[in-house]
Structure 1
């Protein structure tokens, strides 16, 4: 089947929903194409104990309040439920189970979006697949360690066999997983850099309240402050204290051979399980439009606007500011992109 809309939004997470809301306010005929079978799946799939660093009053879209204590920290299942309610109450136009395979130009002014079962045409397309796509695992492992997963596959300690566990990567995810596993396992955390630790609350106020007051959350990606902050995200919360007390810290992992891990500055050790908390890599090869993606595979854009006329991005890390990839920050970018869409429509 072939369907025609003014705007196609690819991805039905918080970025896609925020974009749809902003377009709806402009009376623009849109559709969200989402590969999942219902809203909130990407949050439901995350590990069981995940709790956000942002309190509920900093985890909302367009002043649509979240249930529960406003300064408390929501679980991942609360976020999934919140996004479903947001979608239903605002009557979002979503087609689920539509995995986008290719985005091309059918003509100068028309995009063709191909899914596994249908074809969609639109004059403008917004990519809302978010900041992180494909799990990244360094090519330094011989594959002989019995239990190896990426952090996106981790659910809880019961999933991990007894014995020594190596968590590779000391960002927020790696630290959280290492802290949780340390209650039941012998855990080693490999880190290439020493992280900066920031508590979730300072003098009784949320960290994000302070970031707002100090203007840091509004720092543009191309500003001096923005460039400094982008070099390395801080570790937020108290999990690092648990790690320092109960987890063996080692230097950067160099290679894994026959179940033995070799580190840059520490003795080799035998490991029974490995969890790669090494982040994600972008993959945009399905966007087959000249100028949309650079040679490193990253989207070409200025605050979400692509040099390819009619193509936009939303939900990217540091798309315009520190909070762009967070739930409460994406709405600002959505409003901005919606104005660009309306401007092109009227031209």
Structure 2
């Protein structure tokens, strides 16, 4: 199709949506492969979820990384050696800002600009409609490819029970920013993930009374094992290709020796084996439960008036309920069928990145990993950039790679045995996932 008067044709340029960690990696690696790039960012600065000045950021004042520095940094831009194992969110934002500065990425970013729609127009090309975040005239530009990096931790998943009749305040964790919001309150935290555990620990230090509601038991991993960050120990075992059953046994023994039997504190026993849920990395939750500052309770079944009722019949009267119920991916600018999104909102992508029926549409950063996201987003975007370049230069070779990749079993890159919740839709073990990306990159070079 040809450009019309009101559509600006950007020819072989690529559109990137979002300038968080994943979007920045995509811009950098696409440019290194010779592509012109237009990146659209709805906010006024880089950082995405890690820039807590952004409206959609889930970060609170005390947020720290739960993955250690070596497993979180970009492979071509290391963090300073004198930084702590688990940097504060402000340090990580500064790191992303320096990354953008070092590779001169801001030259390719349109700040204060949101993407309204992305529409296929034939031959793998896309019309991208944008406008200023504050409104204004819409603009349509045509691109050779689109890379989506809009994040998946900004659209809150609501409580599963109706809270309209509850007289207290209900706050989603995305709106929790400072421990002062908990001070002197009677707080119920709903959700057993890392965010819920972190908020429960902060509530134990600030609130008068704290309940922590979880639907199931979890494996609470300490941040340090044998004097090393726990994720580094786990990565070593994966790199040595220990079978899953053996790694599960080692994990179980390690947790029993360091954390102990959590049921003696009133916490429920896990209903799954290690590595079958996203790791909960928290060294303080069991401490505060053991000191009586956090009362563990089961799932919430009813909120009415001033009372919350739990699955075991117990009741509580909190004046603040913090719903750490997670987030759901949202792609408001894409028709659901473009990413094969099912009725629950879950997209079906090869390697959680490549649209199966649209070779020039990819998503970067849509992962839940046992390590930090930036290294995975880096290699994802390297693969996307090399794939798009091969498709331009040698379409026949690109088609051969696509046929070969379509036969790759999902179990080779995604965890198969995980708790069946939306929190685990995009769960991967980072070592096996990187191996799958490495195999793809070899095919792209030698096909």
Are residue 195 (structure 1) and residue 195 (structure 2) matched?
Answer: no
- Distance in 2 separating the partners of 1:285 and 1:339: 27
Contact 2:219-2:274 at 8 Å conserved across structures: no
Q: Distance in 2 between matches of 1:134 and 1:206?
A: 30
- Cα offset, 1:106, TM superposition: 2.7
8 Å contact from structure 2 (residues 85, 229) kept in 1 = no
Per-residue CA deviations over 1:223-266 (Å, capped at 9, x if unaligned) read xx9x9877411211312223423201100011211121011014
Cα distance in 1 for partners of 2:211, 2:230 equals 29
Q: Is the 8 A contact 2:16 2:149 kept in 1?
A: yes
For the Cα contact (< 8 Å) 1:285–1:297, is it kept in 2?
Answer: no
Report 1:53-202 matches (<5 A). Answer: 53-67=66-80, 69-92=82-105, 93-116=108-131, 117-138=138-159, 139-160=161-182, 162-185=184-207, 186-202=209-225
Paired residues of 1:175 and 1:243 also in contact (CA < 8 A) = no
Q: Secondary structure at the match of 2:350?
A: coil
Does 2:312 align with 1:265? Answer: yes
Q: CA RMSD in A?
A: 2.5
Return 5+ residue gaps in structure 1 as ranges. Answer: 220-224
Larger Rg: 2
Residue 67 of structure 1 deviates from its aligned partner by 3.2
Contact 1:57 1:70 in 2 (8 A): no
Greater shift in the superposed pair: 111-120 or 43-52: 111-120
CA deviation map 1:159-180 (0-9, x unaligned): 2363311100011100101101
Contact kept in structure 2, 1:149 and 1:275, CA below 8 Å:
yes
Choose which of 15, 18, 23 in structure 2 pairs with 1:8: 15
SS in 1 for 2:349: coil
User: Is 1:299 aligned with 2:306?
Assistant: no
1:130 and 1:199 map into 2 onto residues whose CA distance is 27
Higher normalized helix content (fraction of residues): 2
The alpha carbon displacement at 1:120 in A equals 2.5
Runs (4+) of structure 1 moved beyond 6 Å? Answer: 216-219, 227-230
Greater RCO, CA 8 A, separation 6+: 1
Deviation at 1:294?
2.0
Whether contact under 8 Å (1:178, 1:243) holds in the other structure is no
1:247 to 258, 270, 294: 294
Gaps spanning 5+ residues in structure 2: where?
1-5, 53-58, 132-137, 243-247, 249-271, 396-447
Q: TM-score, normalised by structure 1?
A: 0.89
Q: 1:239 to 1:100 in 2, by over 3 A?
A: farther
